[in-house]
Each structure stands twice: as C-alpha cells, then as structure tokens.
Structure 1
Amino acid sequence: MTLEQRFQADTVLQNTMADSSTDLWVFGYGSLMWRPGFDSAENLPALLHGFSRSLCIYSHVYRGTPEAPGLVLGLNSGGFCHGQAFRVAAGHKAPVLDYLREREQVSGVYVEKYLPVELADGRRIEALVYVADPLHVQYAGGLSAQAMASVVGQAKGQAGPNCDYVINTVQHLQMMDIRDELLEAVLELL
C-alpha cells in the first residue's frame, strides 16, 4: 500500500472516529474472534470479500520472538474471509481504537482499512479491518503448510505457545461452522 493509500484509509477512519454519533464495526478473523479484548454492543458472523486469511505474519512479540518468530494470521489480497464483526457503541470508539492499535500495530505489519463487510443477518456495513502489509519485513506470505507448522510448532511469545493460537482459531472457526483447510492442515502437522 502506498503512502497516499494509507493516508486515504486513515482519513476515512479518522472521519468515522470523529463522528461521535456513529458506531464502529471491527472485523475479526483470528484471535479477535475468540479474544476481542473489548466490549461490543453486538457481534455477528461476517463475510469480507477481496481478502483471505493466512498465517502470513511473523510474530516477534505475542507468539514468538525476533530470534524464534512465530506465525499469526493476516489478510492477503484476493478471495474472501469468514469472521466475526463487532459493533462498538459510538461512545466507546476512541478507547477501543486505542486498544486495537496498541494490540495490532506493535510492529506496523498491519494496515488499517475501512472495508465493506456482509453480516450474517444480511446487513452490509463498513468495518475496521487489519490487513497484512506484504512489503513489511515480518510478512511471511507463500509458506507451505509444512513450513508453517514447523515455525508454529517451535515458537512461543508473550501470549503463550504459537500452537495454542492456531488451535484456538481452528476451534473457534469450527464452532462457527467455518472450514479453513490450510489452518486445519497446519494443525494436523503440529
């Protein structure tokens, strides 16, 4: 993403944040689904078009270290992604955004985007989404399931073993009746 595109995305998000009368929707596709860390007024299964979930981010903090990185999920361009959308009441937007930025922007590997998302009840909303930056040094796109499992199997960070992250995500997706064949293949190889 170019600097201009980042600025435009940030401008849209800032305009949304500045409007104190509107709620904020957040789209989760990994640990945000099973450990959002903030209260929401509503949460529903949701579908994001144009991006797909992948273990494509080297984790140097939460699920690994710089010496022994782990892998966490990011969104790559193309395809679609089932996840969870959380509605944050208008009066709580600022502290939730501060929390999310502290959690998700530790190294700047994610780009904040405000994207259209389809909720399970048929509504279409705009949601804050954290997308992988393929130009970032921690981007790990293109790894095989075997290579992913090898990294995940040995990594541990501040939030615990990397394998727990994959297990929790697969279990949550299965509870939502969502199959993620690549994540399931990684889990089988652990």
Structure 2
Amino acid sequence: MPSKAPYVVFGYGSLIFKPPPNVISQVPGFLKGYVRRFSQKSHDHRGTPENPGRVVTLIHKEDWDHFSGSDAFPDEDVVWGIAYTINPLYESEVRDYLDYREKDGYTLEMLDVYTIEDGIEKVVVHNAYCYVGRPHNPSFVGSEPLGDLADRIWRSVGPSGRNKDYLYQLAESVRKLAPASFDSHLFALEDRVRELDDKNSKETQAQ
C-alpha cells in the first residue's frame, strides 16, 4: 500500500509567529492566486463579541475584485508563509488543536505552496492544508478603508492580547521570512497603526 501523505499545514497569519505543536519540518513558501487581507473579524482572540478585532484571511484574487473598493492594493501583494509538516503520531491531536484555534469562521482548503529556485517558480508542497475565511462566512467583513481598519486594530483587545501586537508580529515575521517580498497592504496598515501609537504617546506626554 502507498504510504499516507504527510499532514502539512500552511500558515500565513499567526501560525507564522506562533507555530502549531509537533512540527517535524518547515519550509517557507508563497501562494499564487490569493491575497492576504485583514478582512476577518476576531471575536475570540484579538477582540470580543461586542468589539471584534481584525485578523488576516486569504481571498482568491478574482473574489477580491468584488470587495476591494476601499483597498488601494488589490492585486500586487505576494502571500508568503510557512508550510509545517506535522509529526504523524500527533496528526489527530494537531488537527483538533487547529480546528479549535481557527474556529471563528475559517474552513479548510488545500493549496499548492511555491518557492523560487534559480529564478524559477516551482511547487515545494502539493496540497497543503490551509485555514481560509471564505467570503460567505459570518465573520468576513470584506474591504474597509485603511484608516478605519487601522483604528479598529489599534483599539481592539481580546483573550489572546492586543490586536495591534498581532499586526506587528505578523509584519515583522513576514519581513524576516521573505525580505524581498511585496506585501503593501500589511506594511501600509502597520505604518498607520504605528502612527496612532505615536499620536497617542505625544498626547499622553502633553497631559
């Protein structure tokens, strides 16, 4: 009998800086045909049911055209992340852990993960599992003006901590992961939230 395919999970958000347990190997890579956007409400990690924060999801580029009226960067970004291979002895346990962690509107898709070798794109992992907040899920909010989105993230706090810390950790991790990557939405949002930090700091000092 052929051996069972390994259980590989692609992380493009918090899984980059907070990996799943029981990882036996990992490889960086990127997706084709998707954008990464802060278009998913977070009721249970970086916000509350009354005041949900915002976390990232993947959206098919062709779908994003329907939601991108407020987004200045609809097509140009590259989604870099990490493909984690899970120890087969703990596959069921890790699946349960991730299903719970990503329960707020996310569903599983299977995606090919790419890398670049000698200037040529190639698939590094076939059919990696990935948690995606599809547009029809109740936590999907679509595109929001960058200033409104930054303000929401700056103010939101949930059981897993401040929403802005999630943003800062993700931006830092993506820079380290792929220094040449182009993720204008992520970095523009980071700049806007840091401006709010600076403004608040100056106002506090002035009091």
TM range (shorter): 0.7 to 0.9
Q: Are 2:30 and 1:23 equivalent residues in the alignment?
A: no
SS in 1 for 2:139: coil
Q: Which residue of 1 aligns with 2:129?
A: 128
Q: Which residue of 2 aligns with 1:118?
A: 114
Counterpart Cα distance in 1 of 2:188 and 2:176: 17
Q: Are 2:180 and 1:182 equivalent residues in the alignment?
A: no
1:53–1:76 contact (8 Å) kept in structure 2: yes
Could you say what the CA RMSD is over the residues aligned between the two structures, in angstroms? Answer: 1.8
Q: Which residue of 2 aligns with 1:63?
A: 46
Q: Which residue of 1 aligns with 2:153?
A: 152
1:44–1:120 contact (8 Å) kept in structure 2: no
The residue identity in structure 2 corresponding to 1:83 is: G
Counterpart Cα distance in 1 of 2:161 and 2:125: 35
SS in 1 for 2:151: helix
Q: Which residue of 2 aligns with 1:163?
A: 164
SS in 2 for 1:41: strand
Q: Compute the TM-score of the two structures, normalised by the length of structure 2.
A: 0.76
* Cα deviation, residue 60, structure 1: 0.7
Listed as ranges, the matches of 1:44-83 within 5 Å are 44-78=27-61, 80-83=78-81
Counterpart Cα distance in 2 of 1:163 and 1:155: 8
Counterpart Cα distance in 1 of 2:152 and 2:98: 26
2:57–2:132 contact (8 Å) kept in structure 1: yes
1:44–1:119 contact (8 Å) kept in structure 2: no
SS in 1 for 2:59: strand
The residue identity in structure 1 corresponding to 2:59 is: N
Which sections of structure 2, spanning at least 5 residues, go unmatched?
Answer: 62-74, 194-207
Distance 1:30 1:188, change over 3 A: same
Counterpart Cα distance in 1 of 2:45 and 2:129: 21
The residue identity in structure 2 corresponding to 1:38 is: P
Distance 1:22 1:90, change over 3 A: farther
2:22–2:87 contact (8 Å) kept in structure 1: no
State the percentage of identical aligned residues.
29
Counterpart Cα distance in 2 of 1:126 and 1:71: 27
Q: Which residue of 2 aligns with 1:15?
A: none
Count of residue correspondences: 170
Q: Which has the larger radius of gyration?
A: 2
The residue identity in structure 2 corresponding to 1:98 is: D
1:119–1:125 contact (8 Å) kept in structure 2: no
1:59–1:72 contact (8 Å) kept in structure 2: yes
SS in 2 for 1:37: coil
Which sections of structure 1, spanning at least 5 residues, go unmatched?
Answer: 1-18
Q: Compute the TM-score of the two structures, normalised by the length of structure 1.
A: 0.83
2:79–2:183 contact (8 Å) kept in structure 1: no
Q: Which residue of 1 aligns with 2:100?
A: 102
List per-residue Cα deviations over 1:30-55 (Å, max 9, x = no partner).
10011013121111111112221100
